[in-house]
Structure formats: C-alpha cells, structure tokens
A and B are shown apart, each in its own frame.
Chain A
Amino acid sequence: MQTRNPGKQLLAWMFSGALLLAGCASQQAAEKPAEFVNPRPGQPGHRAHEEWQGQYPSLESLRAFKVTRTIAPPAGFLGNLAYDPAGRLFLVSMGPPTNPSGPSMLYQLDPDSGKVTAQAKMPFQGDLASPVYIDGYLYQGVYHESKMYKVSVGAKDFGAVVKTIPLPTLNDLKLADESHPVPFIEFGGVAVTPDKNIIFHADDVGELITIDRETGSILNRVRTLKALGGIASAKAPDGRFLVLGNSDPRGSYCALSYPPTVSRSAQQKDISWAVLDGQTGEVLASLRKQNSPAYASTIALVRHEAVDGAPYGKFVFLATGEEGILTMEWTPAKDSY
C-alpha cells in the first residue's frame, strides 16, 4: 500500500522548494533522453539541485547595481507590473481575497511621473503572476486557474479580455513519482522570449517553461533555480537569450509575485539577483544584495545595453519595493555566479 503522508508531501514542498535552490549542471543536460524534456528525480539524466544563494557583493559589484529613480504607484496598490518598450508602464493589482481593498485593476502609468493615464476594472481573483506586454496586449497569467488572459491595452478597448489561453498543468509535465497536492503550475515570474512567446518560472518544479503565447502549448522546458520571484528577459551582446531574475534566499521559496504587507526586517531585505541562460537555465552571474530596496518579486525590462567588458551588458529594469516603483540598473560581472 502506498502511504499517503501529507507531512512528507509538505516536507517535499518545503525542502525541495524552500531550502534548496537549484544549481545547474549543464554537462548532464546533453545526456537527457528525448522522452523527458526535463528529467525529474528518479528519471534518467536528472540533474541534482545544488544550493545557490548568489554571490556576496564586492564594492565593485555593488556599484554596478543601483536604483536610479522611484515613482509612486496608485495608493494602496498591491500587484505586478509590465512594460511596453515603447514607453508605457502597466500595473495589474491582485484580485480579492488577496487584495482586500477592492477588485483587480489594470492601470497605465506615465513611467516618468507615475501619473495614471488609463485604468480598468479586471475580473481576476487572488494572487496573480506578473503580466507581460507583447504587441499591444498584456498576457496575464492566473496560475491557480491554469489560464493566461490576453488583455488589450489599446486606447479603445483598454482592459478588454480578448482571449483566454489554457495553460499546461503539473500533470502535463510528466513528473513521474513526484506528488503535488494541486494540479496547477504555480508561477510568478513571466517574461517574453526572443520569438515573442512566453517563458515563465514554475516555482514548484524549478523550471523555465516556454509556451506558445496564443495556444499555451509547451515549447520548451529547462531546469533552473527553484526560487525565483520576478523574471525579465533580454538578448546578450553575443545573441544569447538571457533571463534576469530575483530570489529571496532566506526562504529560497520566495514571495512569488506578492509584495509583503508588513515592513521587511533587515533579513527580509536580503535578496539575490541572477542572470540566467534562458536556453540552459544556468546561472551566469549573480549578486546577493543584503539591503535590497526591491522585493524578490515582479520585474520588467526597460532596456538592455551593451557595455564594454561586461559580457551580459547592462540591464535597466523596473521593480517594486517599499518606496514604490523602482527603476534599477545592473551590470553583472563576468563569472559572478
């Protein structure tokens, strides 16, 4: 008889998800059999997790990481952000009951002043993943519904849900002998791939999963860190697909997309930042910021610049923290994983 042991199940959650951060052994990736896109524990070619907390800072690395601007979100805002490279900033607030102050709202903000230029009431409930902007639409994942909502942000139909895209579930991932209590894939961080599909970080299994943005079908899976909050994507000067992410190493299984409602202790401000190879999930560069002004939560790329001597360039991105919406810059050092 198979024993159902919820305690073990929880421990599996907590210790696979909460205490370990996935390191990546790229050599074994090549050995993975075709039938398992991403081998799970017990399957041939599985890559074991390693503890990862990010590299402690040096004076040089700290100077390469900074907040350049702060704007205020709408009063009481609790949610995530997305950015249109044309210069539009969008916020989507959590729905009830996660957000007790009202319905989920979509805002368009002037990224310079923070002024709300458009807003719409949204039907979303509970905790939400970060939205992403692609070609005139926001794609808003509601992971506990296993759905991605395609939302227009055009002037005439701002906030209109034009399509609902089914998302894969944990049962689609062929997890072998790995038990999870609920079928949905929990994810917070979402970004855009170079071919304008959607990549999200599956928290429970520590994978970057790429899906077709219009059908939700899985295009790629890659094992990576198990604890990422927000993610954003960029193209390296050498053409490599990069994923920028943040993580709370204190719990490792970080805050998903949900900003805390109480003041953070010093320990809770200890946030790790990583640049990942979007194709392999490997950590390329990292920085453990001990007094991070940003939560380990939603981020959106504003721009990515080539910098001499910096293999991964400079990331200019938006994040959220106690002080509001932060514009941040990071130029990761080489071999700082």
Chain B
Amino acid sequence: MRRACRLVVALVVAGCVTPASVPEHAEHDAHAEHDAHAGHAGHAGHEAQAAPGNDVAGGAYAYSGSTRKRASGMAFYALGGSSVSIKPSSTTFRITRVLPLPDGFVGHLAYDAEGRRLWLLSHGPPANTRGPSTLYELDPATGRVLAQKVMPFKGEFGAPLYRDGALYQGVYHERAIYQVAVADRARMGEITRTIPVPPLGSLNLAAHKDKVFRFPFFVFSALAGLPDGKLVTHSEDLGELLTLDGQTGKVIRQVGTQPSLEGLAAVPGPGGEPLLMANTNPHEFAMRDQLRKFLFRGEANAAPLAAAPPVEETGVVWMLLDPESGEVLSSIWHAPSRAKSGDVALIKHEPVPDTPYGRYELFALGQEGLLTIEWVPSNVAWSVIDRGTPPQ
C-alpha cells in the first residue's frame, strides 16, 4: 500500500494523477501485497529468479485470479482521466543476462536484431564528464568492444534507432536527427545526413495553451522506427507521441500518451501490427516536470521533490503502447528496478500461447551493465494519459 501511495504522490506532484484515483491504485497495490504474502516473489530484486511463464513472480505486481476479480469479475481503474480495465492474465518480466559496459559509459544503445549488431553511444560533454561522445560497437554475446569512434555530439540526448545500416541519433537541443553510418565498420561514425526537427512552435499546441515553453525546441526521447519508414518519438514537453517523416523530419501526427516515456522501440504486435515498447521512471519525470516549472516563478507552486526518494520511487514502468492511439495496452511496475528507463531495443519476439502479446526479449541498460530482459505482457495496464482534465 505504501508503495502505491508513494508512487501516486509522485505522480500527483507531477500533475499527472488526480487524487480521486489514489484509492483505486491503492487497491491495485493491495493485490500485489496479497500475492507477495501468498509466497510469491514480488520485487524486482528477484527478477532473475522468476521462471518463464510464472505469472506471479518476476518482480511484477502480479495478480492471482482470486484477488484481482471483483464481484463483477473485473477490477476497474481510473487514473488521470484514463480508464483501464484489468483482466485476468499472465505477466512475466525477468532479467536473463547482464553484460558489462565500457568503463564510465553514460549514454544509450541501439540494436540491429537481424544482423545481431549492438551499438552504444555515450553522451557528449557537459552531460558526460568523462570525455567526448563515443560510438561503440559491441559483441552482443560477450559485451566486448569491437570498434569505437569519437563523435561530435554535445550534451544529452535520447536513444538512437538502428535502421537500414545507419543509426538515427536525435539531439533535441540542436533540433536535429543525425544519420550515422554503421553498416561498414570502416566508415562507422560518419555522419551522412542531418534531418532537421521542426521547432516546437510549429507543432499543434492547441491542447497546451496553459503551458509555457521556454525553448524553441522540444525535448524528445528515444527514436523508434515504424515499418513504413516513419519515425516515432515522445515529446516530454507535450506528453505526446510524435510521428515524423523519416526523410524530412516533418511532424505528421501528434497523439497524447503517457506523458513521461523515455525508452522507446517499435515492436511487432500479435497480428504483426507495430506496437511501441516504452519505459519510464515516474519519479524522474516528476523531477523534470517540476524543474521545468520551477524555473518560472509564477508557476512554481510546489517545493522540489525529495532529494533522496524512497527506493520504491526509483521504480521503472514498462509499457506496451498502441502508436495510433497512444493508449497503454500493458504495463508493469518495478521498484526498485535493476533496469533504468531510457533505453529499450528489441532482440526478438515470439508468440506464447494464451498470452495477448507473446514474449519480448529486450536489451536495456542498468547500473550493472547491459541487461537482457524477457517480458510477456499481460492485459494489465495503467496509465496517466492526460485527457485535458485540469489537475485537482
């Protein structure tokens, strides 16, 4: 219960969750505690111990049939104006392997699932105090560095996307997506094209009239690639999924979604349709969101969040989303989390009988290094999608 309260407090501070939703969520967590008391591993620290297909282990807040059902046979949650029905299902999430990263690495990853090639790209100074931005190619089986190249990037940025022999690296504060050659290792790191990212002011801001934007650029997360060549990213400023033309960078579509996505990757759905795999750290998002307002005296109504948040608030939410509607289809919450939000790359996807989406094998980053994760998403989901309801 306390876990849920703290999470919701963080989200309320972030202006995402209405207080009215707290009791509902608290009940949600109560189910998890029930399961934990029943002898199931209920925390992310036990991720590696969970067996595939075990629907109540693996760090998930999992639900047994006896606790998840209400009289109607279905629990119902209303968070931030978005309603998500909870249906009986299996949920499995576990870390299966950890590989080391280059010493001092701070940055993101990209993966070519077909060619089985893995790249890391470190942030540039001043976000990275250890040196210049560096592109690495790693052996995905061992973590050994196969090649590396110093890159000209400055500051922080979201995770790159691998597509057709190149990495696409967005640098939000430069309003640019750089196409970086990686197919031929001899040319690795060569910037072959720069795609301009439109200014924030050119987007449809009709749904954000109450917001103040300081910069002409918008902060965007990782890039994901749709099968039709379009790019998808998440705007932290707007809490929207943005679909960009892969050639021109023009914004084709904006749709509201969970307003804190960081890692983002396109993955196949059960019928082959593209879905989005994403992760977020709600506490970090709340911090960033507060910081954005804090700089404006007129809007700084709340004190900064705690410097040392409870371990539960360092948790990460993993989500499966519909890129068309922005709706969260499945989610799982881990606290404390061995994986950090910010990176997710698909290794493989396979169907699993009696599961709605099958099993995803993913790369992510954590304090321990490069993590391989397996997740069998269920129909259980919560979201804090902002539907325009004023915070209470």
A295 interfacial contact with B, CB 8 Å: yes
**Which of B173, B201, B296, B309 is the one whose CB lies under 8 Å from A183?**
B173
What's the nearest-Cβ distance from chain B to residue A311, in Å? 31
For A9, the chain B residues whose CB sits under 8 A away are: 127
What's the nearest-Cβ distance from chain B to residue A68, in Å? 24
A76 interfacial contact with B, CB 8 Å: no
**Which of A7, A181, A264 is the one whose CB lies under 8 Å from B298?**
A264
Apart from the given pairs A1-B100, A95-B216, A96-B216, 14 other A-B contacts in the complex at a CB distance below 8 Å: A2-B104, A6-B281, A14-B304, A18-B294, A97-B199, A98-B213, A98-B214, A171-B126, A250-B300, A251-B294, A258-B214, A258-B297, A260-B298, A261-B299
Q: Which 10 A-B pairs have the closest CB atoms?
A: A260-B298, A255-B297, A4-B106, A125-B216, A2-B104, A97-B213, A127-B214, A97-B201, A96-B201, A183-B154
For B216, the chain A residues whose CB sits under 8 A away are: 95-97, 125-126, 144
Against B, the Cβ 8 Å flags (1 = close, 0 = not) of A87-109 are 00000000111101000000000
Interface size bracket, B side: 35 or more
By the criterion CB–CB under 8 Å, are B200 and A251 in contact? no
B5 interfacial contact with A, CB 8 Å: no
B105 interfacial contact with A, CB 8 Å: yes
By the criterion CB–CB under 8 Å, are B215 and A1 in contact? no
B123 closest partner in A (C-beta): A4
Bound Cα distance A179, B217 (Å): 21
What's the nearest-Cβ distance from chain A to residue B176, in Å? 13
Bound Cα distance A183, B294 (Å): 20
**Which of B126, B155, B173, B298 is the one whose CB lies under 8 Å from A261?**
B298
A335 interfacial contact with B, CB 8 Å: no
By the criterion CB–CB under 8 Å, are B215 and A126 in contact? yes
By the criterion CB–CB under 8 Å, are A2 and B294 in contact? no
Bound Cα distance A15, B294 (Å): 12
Bound Cα distance A176, B200 (Å): 32
By the criterion CB–CB under 8 Å, are B297 and A251 in contact? yes
Within 8 A of A (CB), among B182-205: 199-201, 205
What's the nearest-Cβ distance from chain A to residue B358, in Å? 31
By the criterion CB–CB under 8 Å, are B304 and A15 in contact? yes
Bound Cα distance A145, B154 (Å): 13
B216 closest partner in A (C-beta): A125
B1 interfacial contact with A, CB 8 Å: no
For the A-B complex, the count of residue pairs with Cβ-Cβ distances under 8 Å equals 146
A-B residue pairs in contact (CB < 8 Å), sample of 21: A1-B104, A2-B104, A3-B367, A7-B283, A7-B287, A7-B309, A13-B291, A14-B287, A14-B304, A97-B199, A97-B205, A125-B199, A127-B214, A144-B217, A170-B126, A182-B173, A183-B126, A255-B298, A258-B212, A262-B298, A296-B297
B71 interfacial contact with A, CB 8 Å: no
For B330, the chain A residues whose CB sits under 8 A away are: none
Bound Cα distance A25, B255 (Å): 52
Against B, the Cβ 8 Å flags (1 = close, 0 = not) of A2-42 are 11101101110111001100000000000000000000000
A317 interfacial contact with B, CB 8 Å: no
A176 closest partner in B (C-beta): B129
For A178, the chain B residues whose CB sits under 8 A away are: 126, 129
Against A, the Cβ 8 Å flags (1 = close, 0 = not) of B243-287 are 000000000000000000000000000000000000001011001
A269 closest partner in B (C-beta): B297
For B130, the chain A residues whose CB sits under 8 A away are: 2
What's the nearest-Cβ distance from chain B to residue A272, in Å? 13
A308 interfacial contact with B, CB 8 Å: no
Query: How many A residues, CB 8 Å from partner?
Result: 52
Bound Cα distance A7, B106 (Å): 14
B386 interfacial contact with A, CB 8 Å: no
B200 closest partner in A (C-beta): A97
Bound Cα distance A180, B127 (Å): 5
By the criterion CB–CB under 8 Å, are A179 and B291 in contact? no
For B173, the chain A residues whose CB sits under 8 A away are: 144, 182-184
Bound Cα distance A259, B298 (Å): 8
Bound Cα distance A47, B314 (Å): 33
A268 interfacial contact with B, CB 8 Å: yes
A175 interfacial contact with B, CB 8 Å: yes
A254 interfacial contact with B, CB 8 Å: yes
By the criterion CB–CB under 8 Å, are A171 and B105 in contact? no
Bound Cα distance A176, B129 (Å): 7
By the criterion CB–CB under 8 Å, are B155 and A183 in contact? yes
By the criterion CB–CB under 8 Å, are B287 and A125 in contact? no
By the criterion CB–CB under 8 Å, are A15 and B125 in contact? no
Bound Cα distance A241, B163 (Å): 57
What's the nearest-Cβ distance from chain A to residue B203, in Å? 9
A248 interfacial contact with B, CB 8 Å: yes
Bound Cα distance A22, B201 (Å): 35
By the criterion CB–CB under 8 Å, are B288 and A10 in contact? yes
